Structure 1
Amino acid sequence: MAYNKEPESEPRIYGYTRTATTVLTHFMCISFTVFIAVLSRPGTSLFSWHPFFMTLAFSFFMTEAILLFSPHGSLAQKFPHKTKGRAHWILQCLCVTCAVLGLAAIVYNKHLNGKPHFTSWHGLLGLLTVCVVGLQSVAALPLIYHSLAKGWSLAKLKRYHAASGLVTYLLGSGSLLLGLSSAWFTASVGEYTWYLSALCTALNALVIMNQVSRAYTAKKRLQS
């Protein structure tokens, strides 16, 4: 018979460091989203909605949706897991909505200007990311409405969802990084601002990767 093991204690400094990085991630994802909103000035042109909605989707909504489950610095830390799950799904739906609007804006803008669609790595990866994040949100429905998970173990579904969610987040981060290399962004900012923007996106991705991987390894350790 296997018994659950007590989680190994670790120096408090590790917990403080993770809390600090989570708080920093909140700050970076909000700051970067506000920065892009100011830079793009949504509403001034059809194109302006594209960077605004895409950044809102993948830098803000998706990051905050995952950070809800962080044991260090979650904005909903005192709420029950079920409430966090519902809030997570709502934020993901907002993410999908913004992503679709951002995609529609750039597609229609290119159509009006007679330009070809999805000819760059940024465009191709962005299209793939929007499709994947939509499927990810639909596939998560059995985790909220358990009656839909017929014949499936909820524990396995949660693991699959976490793994695929991390891949989706990395796709979104990759799309944002490629977007920073676009002619519009490079012409709008200086060198130091570009590197700082890229650093924010990369650090957010690293924090999310660490959170998801630690949660998975912790569950495996408890089950062993």
Structure 2
Amino acid sequence: MSTEGTKGSPSGITIGFSILTHFLLVAPVIYILVLAFSNYHFFSWHPICMSIGVGLLVTEAVFSVSGEAYIASKLPRRSRVTIHWILHTIGLSIIGIGFIIIIVNKVNHNKAHFATTHAQLGLVTIILSFLTASFGILANNTVWIYPRVRPVLVKVAHACGGIGILVLLLATLINGTYSHWWPGTETGRDLVFASLFFAGFLILVKPILGTFSRCRVVFGPPSSET
């Protein structure tokens, strides 16, 4: 059996890094879910869907494809890419449900749509998220456009877009905790902010460095031949 693209056994540092990152993601999501169910009404499904879709699934999709998640680190690149798009598909579907719920809730209460910073940021982020995901299909099937477009250009563009989208999704989720809905304490809200912020930082370190390295190769001066 081929082991191409697989890694050796992860080090203790890698395992610790993965555990810490997942804790920083899971803890605030559980807290938001507890608050949402303890003050349950139809609107509660909006923060429930968004926290699960963003805080657990989309973030895990990015973390897995980078190979830093403990389980994904044992898998070949092709398998990690498969996990990446499956988690993204499920996550974006749940986010889409959360978006529909807030639209219906606004209609039911005869309230203006996209009248707050959170709503406007969320709308832009969701649109860009689905566009980036659609572009990801192309990045995973570059044979469709080769040789008209170099595959590496498509992959770099998708990686840059994905990094930006994850930042926007986490920013929108955090911003939602500063809305009138928030039933938790200020300390709890600050801890959610800090936890998601540092988790996002840890998840994006490797993708940012990898994308920067690729950009230097793609857009840098051609190497001289000896």
Shift of 1:222: 7.8
Give the conservation status (yes or no) of the 8 Å contact 1:42–1:49.
Answer: no
- Structure 2: segments with no counterpart, 5+ residues: 1-10
Q: CA RMSD in A?
A: 2.3
Matched, 1:161 2:158: yes
Instruction: Name the counterpart of 1:30.
Output: 26
SS at structure 1 position matched to 2:114? coil
Alignment of 1:177-216 (within 5 A): 177-185=174-182, 188-216=183-211
TM-score of the pair, normalised by structure 1: 0.84
| 1:97 and 2:93 are equivalent in the alignment | yes
What does 1:78-157 correspond to in 2, within 5 Å?
78-150=74-146, 151-157=148-154
Stretch deviating more after TM superposition (201-210 or 153-162): 201-210
C-alpha offsets along residues 110-163 of structure 1, whole Å, 9 cap, x if unaligned?
A: 100011111111000001111111111111112333433342222111111110
Three-state SS of the structure 2 residue aligned to 1:41 is helix
Superposed CA offset, 1:9-60 (max 9, x none): xxxxxx8666534421112212222222221129942201100111111111
Identity of aligned residues (%): 25
* Residue number in structure 2 paired with 1:64: 60
Q: Which residue of 1 aligns with 2:6?
A: none
Distance 2:131 2:215 in 1: 26
The letter of the residue matching 1:178 is N
Give the aligned length: 208
